[in-house]
Amino acid sequence: MVQRIYIPSDTTAKALGADRLAKLINIMASEQGVELDIKRNGTRALYWLEPLIEVDTTQGRFGFGPVKEADLESLFAAKFWQGDVEHPLALGLVDDIEYLKKQQRLTFARIGEIDPLSLGDYQTLDGFKGLKKALKMDPQALVDQVKESGLRGRGGAAFPTGIKWQTVLNAPAEQKYIVCNADEGDSGTFADRLVMECDPFMLIEGMIIAGLAVGATQGYIYLRSEYPLAYKTLNQAIALAYANNLLGSSIQGSEKHFDLEVRLGAGAYICGEETSLLESLEGKRGLVRAKPPLPAIVGLFGQPTVVNNVLSLAAVPFILDQGAKAYADCGMGRSRGTLPFQLAGNVKRGGLVELAFGPKLSELMFDFGGGTRNGRPLRAVQVGGPLGAYLPESQWDTQLDYEAFAKEGAVLGHGGVVMFDDTVDMSEQARFSMEFCVAESCGKCTPCRIGSTRGVEVIDRIRSGENVDSNIELLTDLCETMVDGSLCAMGGMTPFPVQSAMTHFREDFVKNASSATNTEEV
C-alpha cells in the first residue's frame, strides 16, 4: 500500500533542511522497498517542531518532529510511515498538539494541511466558496458584509476595512485598483509570508472579492524582495488561477473581470507605508505622500485604490463563506475576529498563534511560547515590529486588543512578538531603533531624516556616560519632535521603542553615568 506522508515546504522548514530530508527519505524509501507518496505541504508553523513530518492514517495525521538527517535511520527502523509508532520524535496526532488545538485558526485553517498549489486541496477545504457567493452579490452587499464583520486593517493601523472599501466603492472612476500590501518588513512577523507560501489561493480569492466589491478590475500584490519563495509560489498560484478561469475575464462564467500581478519591492522598509508603496508601484522612489487625498480616492496612478494588508484580504473569503457574524463573534471590544500572532526571537516554542482578540500577552508568551529558548529569564518584549514599544514585565498582563495596547502606549501592529532574555542591553536596542530609521527613512520629513541620525549620536553619548542626564533630556525632546513632526509612522513611531526603553529600562541608559567625567554644559 502506498503511504502518504507530508514534508513541509515553507521558508523556515526549508531553512531547517526540509528539502534535503525529502530527498533522503525518497532515496531511503526506494532502497528499503517502502512505497511512499511524498506530498509537500506548507507548514503548521509550529516552528520548534520543524521540520515536522506528517503521516496520513485513517485516524488522522501523525507527526514526527523536529526531524534531523540523523533521525532518518531510526524513523525508518520504527516504520514511521505507519503513523502510530514508538519513536522519540513521535508527536501523536498533529491536531491534538496542544499549541495547535488551543488556537482559533479561521484565516489559517488550511495552512500546513494542504499542498499550497493544489486547487483541489483548496476547494476541498472550503476554498472559493466565498467567491462563489460574492459573484452573485451586488457590490454594496459585499461591502456591508465586510463592515459587519468588524474587520480592521491587519497591517498595523487597524483602520476598519469595510469603511475603506465603501470609500472606494463610492468614488466614481473608470479604473480602480486593489493593492495588496505584502511588504511584511516588521521583524518578528511572518504571517503574510505564511499565507503566500502555504495558502496563496486564499489571498487571490480575497483580492478578487475585494475587486468585485469596489468595482476594481486590476490587482497588484506588492511583495518584498526578501521573500523569494513567496514570489515563486504566488506566481505559480496566479498562473493556475488564470488557467482555471478564476482570474481574467468572465470569472467562472460571470461577467466579472479581475487581473492580478505580483510586483517585487526592492528592500525598502518604508514601502510598507501605503502611500510610499503606491509611489514604488508607480516606478518611483518610495517617498511618502501627504494625506489627504486618501489612497481610497486618489491612489495608484491617481485612481481610487484599496490598499489592504495580506491578512486583511485573506480574512475576506472566510467572512463571505461563513458570514460576517461568524467572524465578528470572535474577539473583544472593537477588535473583532482573530489576529494571527507570531512568536519570535528568543522563544522556546516559536510559531504562528491565531487567536481571537482578548487573551493576555503573558498567556501567549508562556502558555504557548514556553518562555525563552535558552531558559534565561525574559526581560523585554517588543510587540508590533521595529516601531513598536518594548514592554517590561509590568505590562505583560495587557490584553491582546488594539485599544488595550494603545492605553499602555504600545501597539499590536501586525501581531509580531519578539522576546528578549535578561542579557539584552536596552540602550543598545534603542540605538538600533534610531539606526534602523536612519537606514530606512524615505527622507521626506526632517524630524525623521535628521532626527534619527541625531538620535543615534545622542544615544551613543548616553551609552558612553557623557552628560547622561542632559542627553537623556535631549533624547526625550528629540523623540517628541519626531512623534509630532513626521508625516508617517516611520518617523512618528520610531521613538516608541526608544521612549519605552528609556522609561522602563532606564538602568541600561544610566549605567555608565558615573564612570565617565560629567562636565555638564548647558
Partner 1 sequence: MTTPRFVTWEPTVGQSIIDEFKAKPGALLPLLHAIQDRFSYIPEEAVALIAASLKLSRAEVHGVISFYHHFRTKQPGRHVVEVCRAEACQALGSRSLEAHAKSTLEVQYHQTTSDYNITLEPVYCLGNCSCGPSVRVGDEIYADVDNQRFDELINSLKTERLEVQ
Site residues, partner 1 (CB under 8 A): 11-12, 14-16, 47-48, 50, 184-190, 193, 225-229, 263-269, 280-286, 301, 342-347, 350-351, 373, 382, 386, 416, 418-421, 424, 429, 432, 436, 439-440, 442
Q: In 3-state terms, what secondary structure has residue 49?
A: helix
Sign for the pseudo-dihedral over CA of 79, 82, 87, 89? positive
Q: Which CB sits closer to partner 1, 185 or 304?
A: 185
Q: Which CB sits closer to partner 1, 277 or 400?
A: 277
Report DSSP letters for 436-483, one per residue. Answer: HHHHH--S-SHHHHHHHHHHHHHHHHHHTTSSHHHHHHHHHHHHHHHH
**Could you tell me the smallest distance in angstroms from the CB atom of residue 73 to partner 1?**
22
Q: Which CB sits closer to partner 1, 335 or 382?
A: 382
Alpha-carbon torsion, ordered 284, 287, 288, 294, to 10 deg? -20
In angstroms, the CA 245 to CA 128 distance is 12
On whether the CB atoms of residues 161 and 152 are closer than 8 A, the answer is yes
Q: Which CB sits closer to partner 1, 320 or 352?
A: 352
What number of other Cβ atoms are within 10 A of residue 377's Cβ? 10
Joined together, the cell numbers standing for residue 451 give: 532626527
Q: Which CB sits closer to partner 1, 84 or 393?
A: 393
Q: Which CB sits closer to partner 1, 173 or 229?
A: 229
Q: Which CB sits closer to partner 1, 138 or 282?
A: 282
In angstroms, the CA 495 to CA 455 distance is 9
Radius of gyration of the chain, Cα coordinates, nearest whole angstrom: 24
**Could you tell me the smallest distance in angstroms from the CB atom of residue 195 to partner 1?**
11
- The order of strands in the sheet holding 338-345 is 351-356, 338-345, 416-421, 378-383, 390-391
In angstroms, the CA 206 to CA 255 distance is 18
**Could you tell me the smallest distance in angstroms from the CB atom of residue 233 to partner 1?**
12
**Could you tell me the smallest distance in angstroms from the CB atom of residue 292 to partner 1?**
22
On whether the CB atoms of residues 223 and 265 are closer than 8 A, the answer is yes
**Could you tell me the smallest distance in angstroms from the CB atom of residue 421 to partner 1?**
7
**Could you tell me the smallest distance in angstroms from the CB atom of residue 293 to partner 1?**
19
Q: Which CB sits closer to partner 1, 273 or 440?
A: 440
**Could you tell me the smallest distance in angstroms from the CB atom of residue 300 to partner 1?**
8
**Could you tell me the smallest distance in angstroms from the CB atom of residue 277 to partner 1?**
11
In angstroms, the CA 451 to CA 491 distance is 8
